[in-house]
Each structure stands twice: as C-alpha cells, then as structure tokens.
Amino acid sequence: MRLPSWLRLTQPHLFILAVTLVFLAALLSRTTFLEQFPPGVNQDEAANGYDAYALGLTGRDHYGAFWPLLLRTYDDWVPVTLTYMTVPVVRVLGLSATSIRLVTGLTGVLTCILIYVLAKQLGLSRWTAITAAALIGLGGWHIHMSRFAIPPSIVPFFTVIFFLVMFHWLQLPSSTSLRRRLLWGVLLGVCASVLTHAYSTLNFHLPVFFVFLGVVTWFCRPHLRLSFLIMGLTYAAIAGPLIWITLAEPDKYNARFQHITILRQLNPTRLFHQRYSDYLSFEFLFGKGDRVPERQMQNAPIFPLIALPALMVGVIGVFQKVFQGTLEFFSKRTVPTTAIFWLAMIVWVFLSPIAAALTIDRFHIFRVAQLFPALVLAIALGFELLFRIIQKCLNRRVAIGFAGITALWLSVSFCLYVYHYTTTYPPVLSRFFGAGIHQLFPAFLNDPRCKTRTMSTNTNQPYMYYLFYSQRVPDAQLYQDVQDKRHIYTMITPKMVDGIKITHVTQRQVNGLELIERNETAQPISSLYLTKEGECILVRQY
C-alpha cells in the first residue's frame, strides 16, 4: 500500500505514529491496573498463581508433586506452561493478581509485535502488517484474554511463535548446511512442544497437523525430510510423555473431558457438526461470540464488522496463493514458501474447532484460542487485496479513505471497549472473580474472636482463595489436607485446609449472627460472620 503523492512526504511519520499508537495501546491495555480489571481473582487464576508460588519455594505444586507434567487443580489436570512461566515473576514480585496477570499481559503485547513480524515475513506491506497487529493489539477479545491469567491466554502467543519458526524452517534452501537444518528442526519441535503444554486442546491439534506437515515436507521440501524427523523426535521427547499419560489413563487425566464431552450424548454426530460450525460462523466471529461474560464482554464482537469483507477477500486470496503453488508443484518447480504456509493456515483453521466441538459448551472462545492468529493473517491479507482492488478500480484517494475508515473503526472500537471494560464490565465480572473476598481475609485469619473458621462453597473453590491470599508456605500438612475431598453439589473440594472447614452455608444459617465485616463494593456481597461459639464464617451472598 502506497500513499498518494500529497501525503508521500509524511508517510514515514504516519507509519511511525501508527506503530507507536498501536503498540502503546496494546501495552497499556494489558499491563496497567491489573488488580482492578478484572476485579478480584478467578479461582483458576488463584490456582495458577499459588502453584507458581509453591513451585518457586519448594519445587512442588500444592498437591506435593515435583515439577509435574500436568498440574492437579480441583477435579481436573491442567497444562503447566503458564504456571512455569509465572514462577520467576512471582518469586521476584510476590504473589498477587498483578504479578500473575503480568505474565499473560506481556505475552499479549509480544503477540502483537510477533504477528507484525510474521505478516512482514509473508510479504505483506508494513501497513498491512500493522493492521494485523492492530486486530490483535486493539481487539477486545485479546485484551481480556491477556488480563486473565489462565492457560489458554498464552496460546495465541505461542501459536504465532510456532508459525514464525515454521515459516523460517520451510524457507531454508537446500544449500543450508545439514547442521543448521537439524537445529531448525529441533527448534520447531521445541516450539510445538511448548504449545502442546500450553493448553489441552493442542494435544490433538498438533499431532494431526504434523501429519499434514510431514506430507508437505516429503513432496515439497525433500531436503528437510531429516530435519522433520528430528523435529518429530524432539516433539516426542518433550510433548510425548504428556500425550502418553493422557491416552494411557484417560479416566484420570481426561476426567474433565469425560464430564463435558458430547460423545455420551444422544446423536453426537449432529452435536459435533453444530458445534464445529459455531466456531467458523458469523455469529461467533462477528456477532455475539462467547455467551459467557466471564470469557468475553457481551456485545463486543471478536472482530469488527469492517473485517468481514476483508476476511472474505482474504480467504479467496489464500486459496489463490495455494492454487498457484499447486501449479508450481505439478510443473515440477519449487513451491513458494508462502504457498505452503497459507496451505498450512487452511489446515490449521479447519483443525482448530475439532477439540472444542467435542464438548458440550458452544462458542467457547478459550478452547479455540489457536484459531485467531491464522484468521488475523487472512483478514490482513484481505485488507491488502481490498486496498489494491479499490486503488485499481477507483483511485488511490478512495483506497486511502478506505484505509482511514478501517483505522478509525478499529480505534473507536478499542476506545469503546476500554471504556466499558473499566465501567460497566467489572460489576458483571465480579461474581466470576471472587471480587471483595480478599479484603475480608485479614479479619478472617487474625480476629482473636475466631476460635474456628469456615468458608462457604458459594465462593467457588474457597480453599484456593485461602491459599492464594494467605500465601502459606506449602508443606506435608497441606499435601495431606487437599487429598481428603468430598462432593458438595457439583464441586469437588477438600473437607478442611489448615483447620478451616469448607462447606455449604445458606443465607438462613447466617441470619441473626454477629457481622464482623462486610464488603459491599462488589456483587455478590462478601460478609464475615461470628457465631456465639466463636466460629467465623466467610460467605458470599448472592
């Protein structure tokens, strides 16, 4: 994209301004006021943070496992990448909402930078590349994901890294030394392994993707066959044990999947088709998106509507590049790396919804986090092609006007999102993030009138909030306490931790009790009561 002559002298300055604004907006929207937005801490964030804290102190998680392949959390086993990344940050800054969210916030900023680099590597113009960066950096879906310290939040970051390394690997000429080709194979295997350890849906996604990549390598990049083998061996060595234990003991390590899968429902084939199409639908990408406000702000679509024509044109452009590469292949000429890469993106997009489509939930944005970088690249390509089409069919000024409207649309959408994220969204999020609880913990733990202590399960997984806010040093007693569990409705929780009883408490049970402290700044209200027998009860009142 080139600006017209009347703006050409200022083009470098405009570009520097655009880059500065996009990356500054990405940085500030992901790394500031992390304690306040979202308000409180989600129970999954608390588990991630406390395990990072425990691993940093003892090398063991809160169950006592020594640097495990999977972290046991509640009734589930979760990937380790995010928690292991959080360990050094918590060691330096201490355990807090800010320290654990800073990890996902910074990876979010780096995702914007890396998608720009990748777009440039694909031959797109610098203006198109900054558009790709803006789609992520100014995108509300990614802002919230970057401020939510749970495993899927880092998936876009490691996906873009994997794409970058794969592109450079495919670009290696046959004249490259064997040693260098093998080293690139090892690097690609390491990146894929880290991505697999980032989120459980990648356990299926990447091995299947490698089947495609192996076929392409065999026929289009024969000089990389040995490098691909080394990549596979590296992946098997690092990610293989994780995949093996989940396959060998599915009732244990895939217990969560057993509860949420559609495979036990009537007519699972129909349900799968419905859910698969959900994730590639207009309704999900440009409409309501994820219906659960914990995961996505309502009425804030994943992509702005102006990106729809760009996506449609981009898809056509992708298939055109793949078709040209196919002609090169059958003409027995070297297939361009970009053609192979865009073919890989097609396969990546069609694989991405499969694991999510096997679960009961619909429109679950976190379960397809690996999908969005590929879509962003396609949309960016579409914007570049649209600019060229408008410039050719009309004139440059109209094309520049279209680019200006796009920039304005993205900017206004970003400003509106930030406004609602800091005003109307926090009250909605507070019920999902334990807002208001932490202010009561000093009195709950230290009030001399408390002879015994109880936390109600109307706070989701209350024992984890206790561990997070008390920052007690993990020891053998804790490892023993968390093993003794029971079911309370749909929740599996320890019966007692450090003498604090975990049970269900109704409003009727606390009516008439002495109120020690109450926090009404967030809904539901958090209250601390005292019985005549000296039992302190911490509850959230819905």
pLDDT on residue 523:
86
Does one domain contain both 292 and 317? yes
Where does the pLDDT of residue 7 fall: very low under 50, low under 70, confident under 90, or very high at 90 and above? low
Three-state SS letters, 517-535: EEECCCCCEEEEEECCCCE
Across 16-43, average pLDDT: 97
Does one domain contain both 461 and 417? no
Burial 260-271 (b: 16+ CB within 10 A, else e): eebeeeeeeeeb
pLDDT on residue 329:
96
Does one domain contain both 421 and 443? no
| Residue at 462: amino acid letter | P
CA distances to 158, 240, 285, 433 from 82, in Å: 11, 19, 26, 19
Q: Among the three residues 404, 427, 450, which one is the final residue of a domain in this structure?
A: 427
pLDDT on residue 448:
96
pTM, to two decimals: 0.96
Contact 355, 205 (CB under 8 A): yes
pLDDT in tens, 306-344: 999 999 999 999 999 999 999 999 999 999 999 999 999
pLDDT in tens, 96-115: 999 999 999 999 999 999 99
Does one domain contain both 209 and 312? yes
Q: Which domain holds residue 123?
A: 5-427
More confident residue, 187 or 486: 187
Q: Among the three residues 408, 427, 446, which one is the final residue of a domain in this structure?
A: 427
Across 247-264, average pLDDT: 88
Contact 487, 496 (CB under 8 A): no
How many structural domains does the chain have? 2
Q: Say if 467 falls within a structural domain.
A: yes
Classify burial at 476, counting beta carbons within 10 Å of its beta carbon; exposed 0-12, middle 13-18, buried 19 or more. exposed
Q: Say if 328 falls within a structural domain.
A: yes
Does one domain contain both 111 and 227? yes
Q: What are phi and psi of 496, to 5 degrees?
A: -160, 140
Element (H, E) at 536: strand 535-541
Does one domain contain both 405 and 505? no
Q: Say if 532 falls within a structural domain.
A: yes
Where does the pLDDT of residue 258 fall: very low under 50, low under 70, confident under 90, or very high at 90 and above? confident
pLDDT on residue 489:
77
| Residue at 145: amino acid letter | M
Q: Among the three residues 383, 402, 427, which one is the final residue of a domain in this structure?
A: 427
Does one domain contain both 382 and 446? no
In sequence order, the β-bridge partners of residue 518 are: 527
Q: What are phi and psi of 539, to 5 degrees?
A: -135, 160
Across 160-177, average pLDDT: 98
Q: Is residue 94 over pLDDT 80? A: yes
Residue by residue, DSSP assigns 237-248 as HHTHHHHHHHHH
Does one domain contain both 324 and 357? yes
What angle, rounded to 10 degrees, do the helices at 126-137 and 372-393 form? Answer: 140
The per-residue pLDDT of the chain, averaged, comes to: 95
Does one domain contain both 422 and 447? no
Contact 481, 512 (CB under 8 A): no
Q: Measured between alpha carbons, how far is 40 from 29 in angstroms, rounded to an integer?
A: 17
